[in-house]
């Protein structure tokens, strides 16, 4: 970025200060008096309700909760579980069984009280237990049953499964546990009413947590799999096969929420991934997509199976897989101890696992002889089972990331039309039978079974402007460019086609593209050339393929092209994509568009041209109010709009750096043109790290400086006086960090540019992953685009609203939940909702309103594209630099290559 004005002001810069004199080494700097501590910002209160739009009656999946007993207290006890020898219990899931047993055995000592136990370290009761510290001892017979991983490893002394005689002699399954309950805190039930008033403090949040724990425990008692606030029943009707031995399992999310109209229970459909239950061998065949057990890759299988729970058909017992045997079943030996005849001495016999099961146990084995055995023992004392005797237990979560095909299949199988979703939810509420839950009873809680009725409003679509002065209103959240020109079309010149795809008629494709461009007002010259990939290179690694293609292009072209159209193989998510983008944008500064030429028709080409036009600096359509500048508060004074997002590695790739992207509007008074700045940061860190990054007294390498300077240059040397921030992907618990950490960094970077500059801020968080849904009463369709809700199920105190800007075509619309954390600019509720609604209509990639404001979508796209670059980075020489915090402090994170100057301010992510 050229620094015409390092301080961002329009005056000439003062001369540089003289170089500092040498400071003697023994000088101790004087400590500057620190500023008084800053007041922490908190999310602002609601400003009143908006009124614009046509009224509409809706229903929501919030069920009203009545609380009649608010005089008592919840008592919180911490739970300490030990074996009889004092070792702590580490296995998950044992806790619930142990405490159930405590309750059965010591009912009178516990004054007949019911528990709400979270399965870990916390237990709650209504009213106090008879003492502040209570100790109990209980015995459990078969520790390894339904919902746990079992700590009882078969004590088979090396035998694959103990002989029956030994089992009688030593009932090794029974274990003795010691349980300590110590008083930790007491929470007034009155706190529940504070939630409803919106006075959220430690106590009120804790009181809600107790209610949520009661629901979880209720589900656990019915044998459900629990995943945070969701639970899943073991019912094959809820399973959908998505391929690779993975099933989508449908269950329910339920949580208590304080809303404007009181306490409500929010129930929604939720899906998790589980391992296909049944024979282990069937799972492996499906997981690896092979024909038979003899084609299985066992190294892969071992990683996949570790820690999964199985039942052995020989004894109806459950075990946890610790590994596989080194040798096949018919060669793997172990020492079988048998009672000697004469003196009762046990004699040791070396037998193979196969021989033991077939001859000693008389179990017929059909195909296990040549396959590895499953090991369920300890590292030093293996315990083997032949593969065919092992079955995977149901409801075991699959936590690795899904393939593209699996994800598509899951989405397709889990979507439900609004009416179907409503009936499923009503049914779930009936079946869950919360009225019978003793803990809820003792809190005096009853849950209504009707959906909450809500008054919504439908905002009318903003007027859009196309080319040739055409103006139009979108209908039902969509429009098209048939017979319309783009509002600001570019030229496509000095360009070429590169083809990594085997089959494609490139001549026809280019001809159709030029014709389609003409209709939209884009002048497309004939391309220099079409570069076909050399057949020998197709098998090469992605980086090599890209290098070779570039060598070819460079050798034939007179100079650097302005644009490259890249045809990828038919497979979506092709691995050439990341390296290709990086090469074009970071190494050469060439705008590029990739396509996968499967079904290419007019609509496809139009969509392609919308993206190309935006990348090359054109605009497809814009809001009429941008053109006349008449957007409330935005058009009057220079305003920059930011979209901020952080994308993390997918599950199973938790050590890859996270990627933070911030996009910013440019060329004020427009709100349709954006650019992006992207950086890597430590894995899993949600707050954006590099907003302000001073490297000396005059240099700041942060994201904000780059974007603010670009705004200044592109908006006629004006500094933004209003900064509107849309932040994606943070939960309510992180709002204070956004307001106090991120916003502070942004303010610092403004002050660094110009000490006297005091822009005003508007900070809004956009959330998509919540569980509130809206339905039209008695109509089968989704809510109409433009539907906004700011009453009834919204927060009792803070400033939030739900908006469905898009037309939900399939499944049930997921509204976006906007939280206004700070507004120094002073929007009225109506103007603010109108602005957010309008920003859903300026997304250049599509001719529809989208479900969340465009700057947030762009930030998401920019982060995702950069993640593709990282995927193929050679990290071998910086193998330690994968980020993350070690004992030595945080590890450096590999930096992303910077984009070339000429594409840095483009909409390369579009």
Domain 278-393 and domain 489-618 have a common topology: no
**Confidence at 901, pLDDT banded by 50, 70, 90:** confident
pLDDT in tens, 422-459: 999 999 898 888 888 888 988 889 999 999 999 999 99
Total count of residues recorded for the chain: 910
Q: pLDDT above 70 covers what percent of the chain?
A: 88
Specify the pLDDT at position 168: 36
154 CA to centre of own chain: 39
* CATH topology classification for 489-618: Rossmann fold (3.40.50)
Residue 163: pLDDT band by 50, 70, 90 thresholds?
Answer: very low
Residue range 717-730: average pLDDT? 94
pLDDT at position 765 is: 97
Query: What whole-number distance in Å separates Cα of residue 7 and Cα of residue 756?
Result: 10
Q: Which two tokens stand for residue 471?
A: 């103006």
Q: CA 295, 301, 304: angle at the middle one, nearest 5?
A: 150
Q: Which pLDDT score, from 0 to 100, does residue 23 have? A: 57
Give the pLDDT mean for 176-182. 91
pLDDT in the model for residue 150: 36
- The distance from CA 551 to its chain's CA centroid, rounded to whole angstroms, is 39
Burial (CB count within 10 angstroms: exposed 0-12, middle 13-18, buried 19+), residue 524: buried
Q: Are strands 54-60 and 239-243 parallel, antiparallel or unpaired?
A: unpaired
**Average confidence score pLDDT of the chain:** 85
Which pLDDT value is given to residue 142? Answer: 60
Residue 475: count other Cβ atoms within 10 Å of its Cβ.
10
518 — pLDDT class (breaks 50, 70, 90)? very high
* Distances 709 to 216, 428, 702 between C-alpha atoms, Å: 51, 54, 12
Whole-number pLDDT of residue 149: 36
Q: What is the pLDDT of residue 153?
A: 35
Q: What is the mean pLDDT of residues 115-136?
A: 91
pLDDT attached to residue 506: 86
Residue 192 has pLDDT above 90, yes or no: no
What is the structure's pLDDT at 562? Answer: 92
Which of 612, 512, 501 has its CA nearest to residue 562? 612
User: What is the 3-state secondary structure of 389-409?
Assistant: HEEECCCCECCCCCCHHHHHH
Torsional class of 884: left (φ above 0), alpha (ψ -120 to 50), beta (otherwise):
left
pLDDT value at residue 890: 55
Q: What is the mean pLDDT of residues 48-63?
A: 94
Task: Determine the Cα–Cα distance for residues 852 and 809; give it in Å rounded to an integer.
Answer: 16
pLDDT band at 342 (very low <50, low <70, confident <90, very high): low
Measured distance CA(251)–CA(11) in Å, rounded: 63
Lowest pLDDT segment from 29-38, 140-149, 378-387, 711-720 = 140-149
Q: 683-714: buried (b, 16+ CB within 10 Å) or exposed (e) per residue?
A: bbbeebbbbbbeeeeeebebbbbbbbbbbbbb
The pLDDT-based confidence of 154 (bands split at 50, 70, 90) is very low
Give the pLDDT confidence score for residue 874 in this predicted structure. Answer: 45
DSSP 437-479: -HHHHHTTEEE--SPEEEEEEEPPPPPEE-STT-EE--BTTB-
Q: How confident is the model at residue 32 (pLDDT cuts 50, 70, 90)?
A: low
Query: Tens of pLDDT along 270-289?
Result: 999 999 999 999 999 999 98
Residue 384 has pLDDT above 80, yes or no: yes
Q: What is the pLDDT of residues 592-625, one digit of tens each?
A: 999 987 788 888 999 999 999 999 999 999 999 8
Calculate mean pLDDT across residues 507-533: 91
How far apart CA 575 and CA 739 sit, in angstroms, is: 39
Q: Is 60 exceeded by the pLDDT of residue 17? A: no
Calculate the CA 137 to chain-centre distance: 42
Maximum Cα–Cα distance for the chain, whole Å?
A: 107
Q: How confident is the model at residue 512 (pLDDT cuts 50, 70, 90)?
A: very high
Inter-residue contact 80 to 182 (CB < 8 Å) = yes
Class level of CATH domain 278-393: mainly beta
Residues 6+ apart with CB under 8 A from 327: 372
- The whole-number average pLDDT for the span 209-236 is 90
Does pLDDT of 882 surpass 80? Answer: no
Give me the mean pLDDT over the 184-211 stretch: 85
pTM of the model: 0.86
Span 569-592, pLDDT tens digits: 866 568 888 899 998 999 889 999
CA distances from 78 to 84, 143, 151 (A): 19, 22, 22
Displacement of CA 573 from its chain's centroid (Å): 19
Query: Tokens at residue 905, please?
Result: 């301010």
Domain boundaries, the chain: 73-144+173-275+405-452, 278-393, 489-618
Predicted confidence band of residue 16 (pLDDT cuts 50, 70, 90): low
Q: In this model, does residue 256 exceed pLDDT 60?
A: yes
Is residue 7 over pLDDT 80?
no
359-373, 727-741, 746-760: which range is least confident on average?
359-373
Bridging pattern class, strands 133-140 and 346-352: unpaired
pLDDT digits (tens, 9 = 90+) for 675-721: 999 998 988 888 998 999 888 888 888 899 999 999 999 999 999 99
| H helix or E strand, kind and range, residue 517 | helix 506-520
pLDDT for position 560: 86
Q: Does the pLDDT at position 498 exceed 50?
A: yes
**In this predicted structure, what is the pLDDT of residue 682?**
87
Contact between 271 and 414 (Cβ < 8 Å): yes
Task: Give residue 502's pLDDT.
Answer: 65
Q: What is the pLDDT of residue 9?
A: 44
Task: Assess whether pLDDT exceeds 70 at residue 155.
Answer: no
pLDDT (tens digit, 9 = 90+) per residue, 823-848?
999 999 999 999 999 999 999 999 99
CB contact at 8 A, 259 and 192: no
């Amino acid at each position: 970025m050229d620094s015409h004005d390092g301080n961002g002001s329009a005056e000439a810069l003062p001369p540089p200060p003289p170089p500092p004199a040498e400071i003697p080494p023994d000088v101790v700097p004087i400590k500057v008096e620190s500023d008084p501590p800053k007041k922490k910002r908190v999310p602002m209160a609601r400003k009143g309700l908006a009124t614009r739009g046509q009224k509409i009656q809706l229903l929501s999946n919030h069920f009203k909760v009545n609380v009649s007993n608010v005089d008592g207290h919840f008592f919180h006890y911490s739970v300490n579980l030990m074996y009889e020898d004092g070792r702590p219990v580490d296995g998950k899931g044992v806790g619930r069984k142990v405490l159930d047993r405590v309750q059965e055995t010591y009912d009178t000592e516990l004054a007949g009280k019911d528990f709400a136990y979270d399965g870990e370290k916390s237990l709650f009761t209504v009213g106090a237990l008879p003492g502040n510290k209570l100790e109990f001892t209980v015995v459990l017979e078969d520790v390894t049953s339904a919902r746990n991983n079992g700590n009882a490893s078969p004590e088979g002394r090396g035998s694959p499964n103990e002989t029956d005689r030994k089992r009688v002699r030593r009932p090794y399954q029974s274990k003795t546990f010691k349980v300590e309950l110590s008083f930790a805190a007491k929470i007034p039930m009155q706190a529940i009413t504070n939630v409803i008033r919106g006075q959220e403090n430690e106590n009120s949040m804790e009181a809600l947590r107790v209610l949520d724990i009661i629901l979880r425990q209720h589900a656990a008692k019915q044998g459900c799999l629990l995943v945070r606030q969701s639970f899943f029943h073991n019912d094959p009707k809820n399973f959908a096969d998505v391929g690779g031995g993975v099933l989508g399992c449908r269950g329910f999310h339920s949580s208590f929420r304080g809303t404007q109209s009181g306490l409500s229970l929010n129930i929604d459909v939720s899906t998790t991934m589980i391992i296909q239950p049944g024979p282990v061998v069937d799972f492996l065949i499906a997981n690896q997509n092979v024909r038979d057990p003899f084609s299985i890759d066992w190294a892969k299988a071992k990683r996949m199976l570790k820690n999964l729970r199985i039942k052995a058909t020989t004894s109806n017992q459950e075990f946890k897989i610790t590994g596989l045997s080194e040798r096949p079943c018919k060669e793997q030996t172990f020492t079988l101890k048998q009672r000697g005849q004469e003196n009762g001495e046990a004699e040791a016999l070396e037998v193979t696992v196969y021989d033991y099961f077939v001859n000693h146990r008389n179990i017929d084995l059909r195909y296990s002889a040549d396959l590895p055995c499953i090991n369920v023992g300890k590292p030093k004392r293996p315990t083997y089972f032949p593969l065919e005797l092992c079955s995977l237990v149901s409801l075991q979560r699959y936590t690795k990331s899904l393939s593209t095909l699996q994800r598509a299949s899951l989405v397709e199988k889990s979507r439900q039309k609004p009416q179907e979703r409503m009936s499923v939810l009503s049914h779930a509420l009936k079946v869950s039978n919360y009225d019978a839950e003793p803990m809820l009873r003792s809190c005096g809680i009853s849950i209504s079974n009707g959906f909450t009725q809500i008054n919504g409003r439908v905002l009318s679509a903003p007027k859009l402007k196309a080319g040739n002065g055409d103006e139009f209103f979108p209908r039902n959240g969509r429009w098209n460019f048939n017979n319309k020109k783009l509002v600001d079309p570019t030229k496509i010149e000095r360009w070429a086609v590169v083809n990594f795809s085997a089959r494609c008629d490139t001549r026809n494709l280019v001809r159709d593209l030029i014709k389609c461009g003409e209709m939209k007002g884009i002048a497309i010259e004939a391309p220099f050339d079409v570069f076909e990939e050399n057949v020998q290179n197709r098998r090469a690694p992605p980086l090599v393929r890209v290098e070779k293609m570039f060598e070819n292009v460079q050798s034939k072209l007179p100079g650097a092209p302005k644009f490259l159209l890249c045809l990828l193989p038919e497979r979506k998510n092709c691995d050439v994509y990341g390296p290709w983008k990086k090469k074009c944008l970071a190494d050469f500064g060439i705008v590029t568009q990739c396509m996968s030429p499967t079904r290419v028709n007019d609509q496809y080409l139009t969509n392609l041209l919308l993206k190309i036009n935006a990348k090359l600096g054109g605009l497809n359509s814009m809001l009429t109010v941008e053109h006349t500048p008449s957007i409330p508060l935005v058009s009057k004074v220079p305003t920059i709009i930011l979209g901020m997002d952080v994308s993390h590695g997918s599950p199973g790739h938790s050590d890859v750096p996270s990627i933070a992207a911030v996009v910013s509007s440019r060329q004020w008074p427009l709100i349709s043109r954006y650019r992006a700045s992207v950086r890597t940061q430590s894995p899993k860190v949600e707050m954006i790290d590099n907003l302000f990054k001073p490297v000396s007294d005059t240099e700041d390498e942060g994201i904000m400086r780059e974007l603010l300077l670009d705004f200044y240059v592109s908006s006629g040397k004006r500094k933004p006086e209003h900064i509107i921030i849309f932040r994606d992907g943070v939960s309510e618990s992180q709002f204070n960090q956004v307001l106090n950490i991120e916003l502070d960094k942004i303010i610092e970077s403004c002050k660094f540019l110009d000490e006297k500059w005091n822009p005003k801020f508007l900070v809004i968080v956009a959330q998509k992953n919540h569980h509130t849904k809206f339905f039209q009463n008695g109509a089968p369709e989704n809510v109409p685009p433009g539907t906004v809700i700011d009453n009834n199920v919204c927060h009792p105190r803070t400033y939030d609203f739900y908006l469905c800007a898009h037309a939900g075509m399939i499944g049930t619309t997921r509204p976006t939940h906007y939280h206004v954390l700070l507004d120094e600019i002073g929007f009225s509720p109506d103007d603010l909702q109108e602005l957010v609604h309008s920003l859903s209509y300026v997304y250049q990639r599509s001719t529809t309103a989208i479900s969340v404001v465009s700057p947030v979508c762009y930030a998401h796209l920019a982060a995702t594209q950069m993640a593709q670059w990282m995927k193929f980075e050679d990290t071998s020489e910086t193998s330690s630099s994968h980020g993350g915090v070690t004992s030595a402090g945080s590890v450096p994170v590999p930096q992303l290559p910077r984009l070339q100057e000429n594409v840095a301010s483009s909409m390369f992510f579009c």
